[in-house]
Amino acid sequence: MKRTIFLAAGLLFSISAQAQFGDLLKAVKDKTGVDLSNPKTQNSTNTSTTTTTTNSNSNINLGNLTSTQISSGLKEALNLGVKEGVQKLGVTDGFLKNEAVKILMPEKLRKIETTLRGLGMGSLADQGVKLLNRAAEDAVTEATPIFTNAITSMTITDAKNILLGSNNAATNYLQTKTQTQLFTAFQPKVQASLSKVGADTVWKNIISKYNTFTGQAVTTDLNEYVTTETINGVFKMVAEKETGIRNNSALRTTSLLEKVFGAVKK
């Protein structure tokens, strides 16, 4: 009988204690908003935080790059593109046998080409085109310091937007900012090359023959035309190199190029 009374008393005490503990949990929740009856584990919080951080940096992580590093990396890529481009173009057939940059007959003189070929003087027309490209191949060897100096015009302010831009964003920026400057500096070198390879003499002969046969008085500024086409040819080569560096880690031949362009995954 006594044992039964003790069991009943214990049960009542347990129920009372649970009720009081429940009241305590409820009071804490009411006052603090914290539900102690359903705690969250520390591990789940850490997992959630880690996942969010990883997702936000999955494509772009420029946090470790300074503006100076970005600017220097872009300039290094452009200088590398200019150096390699000039080396490829500044040899025999560097322009003539490269369809991407080959200098064709000036558009307003293409009627001369048609007329000469119709008169059986196709070889003269071919020689004229060949010498335009020879002049470009000769002149472009003087271009490296001109382009290198022009590259310094890129500002740190523009660097990050250029890095996150299109495959040839740096080349386009450089061309837009420096085309006039480059033309002014490069034109005398092209003029000298036209004379050196005999292009100016041949073209005077071509135009003279055309004017004689047609009774017209066609003239053109070959120096301006070849200067523009030579500069455009170098920029095409620079753009090709920039695209390669952006998309192919094997072409990032220095730690700076890898650090800067490796931070942006296309």
This prediction's pTM: 0.72
Report yes or no: 74 and 159 within 8 Å, Cβ to Cβ. yes
List residues bridging with 60 in a β-sheet: 264
The average pLDDT across 254-259 equals: 94
The larger pLDDT score, comparing residue 204 to residue 220, is at 204
Q: Which backbone phi and psi does 176 adopt, to 5 degrees?
A: -65, -40
**What average pLDDT is seen over the chain?**
79
Choose the weakest-confidence range: 181-185, 228-232, 245-249: 181-185
Model confidence at 30, pLDDT cuts 50, 70, 90, reads low
Mark 38-70 as b/e (b = at least 16 C-beta within 10 Å).
eeeeeeeeeeeeeeeeeeeeeeeebeebeeebb
Handedness of CA 175, 181, 184, 188 (dihedral sign): negative
Question: pLDDT for 89-132, tens place per residue?
Answer: 999 999 999 999 999 988 878 888 888 888 888 888 899 999 99
Q: Which backbone phi and psi does 44 adopt, to 5 degrees?
A: -65, -35
Choose the weakest-confidence range: 28-42, 47-61, 63-77, 189-203: 47-61
- The helix/strand/coil state of 64 is coil
- Name the token pair of 100: 């991407």
Model confidence at 79, pLDDT cuts 50, 70, 90, reads very high
Counting every residue, how long is the chain? 266
Spatial distance between the Cα atoms of 32 and 59, rounded to a whole number of angstroms? 41
